[in-house]
Amino acid sequence: MNQAAAELESWTGIISDALDEGRVDDAVAVAAERHPAALADILEALPNEQRLQLWHALPDPTARGEALIQVRREVRDRLISATKPSVLARGVADLELDEVADLYDKLPHKVVRALLRTMDLQRRERLRRVLSYPQDTAGGLMDADAIAVRGDITLETAQRYLRRVRKKDGALPEHITALFVVDRHNQFIGMLPLADLVAGDQAAFVGDVMNRDFEPIDAALSANRVARLFEDRDLTSAPVVDDDGALIGRITVDDVVDVIRREGEQTLMQAAGLAQSEDMFAPVFATAGRRGIWLAANLVNALLASWVIGLFGATIEQRVALAILMPVVASMGGVAGIQTLTLVTRGIALDQVSRANGARLLAHELGVAAVLGVCLAAVLGGAAFAWFHDPVLGVVFGSAVIVNLANAAFSGTLVPLLLERVGIDPALAGGMLLTALTDIIGFASFLGFATWVLV
């Protein structure tokens, strides 16, 4: 366990013990000293009763609002529903516009109206702009508080403008590394790094110093692709433009880190049929209902595999060795299929798999399956012969392994491609479908060969 995890565990334990003993003030004192992200982790780790007790006792509305942004959606919804509108309004009033946009649909109408009344016309317009885009796009991810200057002013004038912005707002926007340069119609034309602004000739014009080669991000681009751009180009911030090329906001690296973290959590949780935002201490019946759907789907797969085995009941009765070897065939296909499925799913997420190379990728995976199938068939078939002293059983066993590995390569490639084509996340449903195919075809091929050859 690293130091950060150990500290978080220690803080959570101290707060939980204090709440159990009725020392609410002591618990609040520990929680109030934590960073909002750490406070969010503590709130998620506490049982619901203690979580609400600590939440209501927190004295700083701003800390409450910042923690609300950090917690997972299900926990956030429960905290919002348990908080008075007046308290919520004070907590979210100082949040960044993109953070307000994340909460907007979940806040009570009273809070929204109170929040809008505290904004000037320009800030309300910027919020409306962010809300006009889906949350999983660059437009929904962006911060509308982008600082832009014209190219026909001097560096000295640009510096004076920055000082005025700082004086007016109390501080410059976070993570500002460059100024965006626009023309008189607000069309993005380049970027001026702060290093060039400070170190350049103060009499030089912005248009002569700026970087014209920087490509802005389209507001409709998906958040996943935005994260890829930041990773590939080592960006810390980037301008966002609308369909007409007008500058409407910026995306910073902290926004992208959140996207990457959510992607990782989503992949991990979906592999087990769980929601990314699931609360560890959600009501028992609600949790059981969600998980029951996934278990029911897997039960259908298991029943189908059992039905296939039942078709060959007479064969199994005559050759008990078949029942011993059946799980091996299915297991080998399942492992090989998961390898291919994971590779293709990652390729889809990284835009590396398309119609242009899909057929070649399938041929490649079938080739790998053929090589592995022959090698494993020789080893496993020989082992079956040595175990049961039946050469024909060894051949049947080895042949079934080859067939199921080929099926694993075929299914592992096509299942994610077909799911992605119909708009279903391969990471969510791919594993379940693949398991069904490798189990059913593995049992059918092995027992079918055995019925044909041995019985």
pLDDT at 83: 86
Contacts of 443 (CB under 8 A, 6+ apart): 305, 308, 309, 312, 326, 329, 330
Residues in Cβ contact with 422 at an 8 Å cutoff, skipping those fewer than 6 apart = none
CATH class of this structure's domain 284-453 = mainly alpha
In 3-state terms, what secondary structure has residue 150? strand
> Which DSSP string do the residues of 90-103 spell out, in sequence order?
HHHTTS-HHHHHHH
What are the residues facing 188 on neighbouring strands?
182
State the Cα–Cα distance between residues 413 and 393, nearest whole angstrom.
Answer: 30
* CATH 1.25.60.10 corresponds to the domain 3-118: yes
Q: What is the CATH number of domain 148-270?
A: 3.10.580.10
Do the Cβ atoms of 241 and 216 come closer than 8 Å?
yes
Give me the pLDDT at residue 432, please.
82
CB atoms within 10 A of CB 408: 29
What are the phi and psi torsion angles at 150 (to 5°)?
-85, 155
Tell me, what's the pLDDT at 277?
57
How far apart (Å, rounded) are the C-alpha atoms in residues 136 and 126? 18
Question: What is the distance between the alpha carbons of residues 74 and 347, in angstroms, rounded to a whole number?
Answer: 30
Q: Are 179 and 160 in contact (CB under 8 A)?
A: no
**Do 323 and 315 form a contact (C-beta atoms < 8 A)?**
no
The values of phi and psi at residue 175, to 5°, are 60, 35
pLDDT of residue 182: 93
Q: pLDDT tens digits for the chain (455 residues)?
A: 567 778 888 888 899 999 999 998 999 898 888 888 888 889 988 988 999 999 999 888 888 888 888 888 888 888 888 888 888 888 888 787 778 888 888 888 888 888 888 787 878 888 888 888 888 899 988 888 788 899 999 999 999 998 998 888 777 777 788 899 999 999 999 999 888 898 888 999 999 999 988 899 999 999 888 988 888 888 888 999 999 999 999 998 888 888 887 776 666 666 655 555 566 677 777 777 777 777 787 788 888 888 988 888 888 877 888 888 888 988 898 889 989 988 898 888 777 887 778 889 999 999 999 999 999 999 989 998 898 888 888 999 999 999 999 999 999 999 988 888 888 778 777 888 888 889 999 889 888 888 888 66
- Give the C-alpha separation, 87 to 102, whole Å: 18
Cα separation, 184 vs 196, whole angstroms: 22
In the chain, where the domains are located? 3-118, 148-270, 284-453
